[in-house]
Amino acid sequence: MKAFVTTAAAAGIVVFARAVTAVRAIWPEEGFPPRPCIYFANHSSHGDFVLVWAVLPPRLRHQARPVAGAEYWLKSRLNRFIGRDVFNAVLIARERDKRTEDPIAQMASVIDTGSSLILFPEGTRNQSDAPLLPFKSGIFHLVTARPDVDLVPVWINNLNRVMPKGEIVPIPLICTVTFGNALRLSPDEAKDAFLARMQTALLALSPRPAGSDE
């Protein structure tokens, strides 16, 4: 019974997300990622990982696990059901003193099982006028631990306008989720160089030119 409810809830979330946003996925010429990977995206709305998850083809969606804050997704019975059972999210404790496991080890172990990750290197929602906030170093430490994993940049456009801060009811707008070509950590690549390269790859998918304030 629980499996049926979980499957039905997942299908409902996909239908709702697509209906509200009329989301369109844009894939590179090389097509879908050939193996489990890390999808890394810009972050401007609470619904970001839902949209990335919902737009993936079923085969890729079933192996993709969003990385999310444990405090939010464990705060109620309903949240736990959606976070753990529906999304199968990797729940990371944001407060260091409440952690029982190293976040990098958590994510690396998920990669080892053959699952993909959906994560947001900015670490928090971008409410500024800048196209991206500086990337946190976690993604670098993760790929240093698992250097053979592919990294797929994902640009989410318009969702911050569909779900503006403080609003409860979504505003119907067309969203796009643009996937880039897979990347990898280069041998002996330094942290700052790697983070800058990932930011550049992500901004290249944006509908506005890098550095533009429009």
Average pLDDT over the chain, rounded to an integer? 88
**Residue range 97-117, pLDDT digits in tens:** 878 889 999 999 999 999 999
Give pTM, 2 decimals. Answer: 0.90
Q: Report the 10 Å Cβ neighbour count for 131.
A: 19
159 neighbors 45 (Cβ within 8 angstroms): yes
pLDDT for 210? 44
Asked whether residue 171 carries a pLDDT value surpassing 70, the answer given is: no
Grouping H, G, I as helix, E, B as strand and the rest as coil, residue 44 is coil
Q: What is the DSSP string of 10-27?
A: HHHHHHHHHHHH--EEE-
Q: Report the 10 Å Cβ neighbour count for 107.
A: 24
- Work out the average pLDDT over 182-210: 92
Asked whether residue 163 carries a pLDDT value surpassing 70, the answer given is: no
Which range has highest mean pLDDT (8-12, 14-18, 172-176)? 8-12
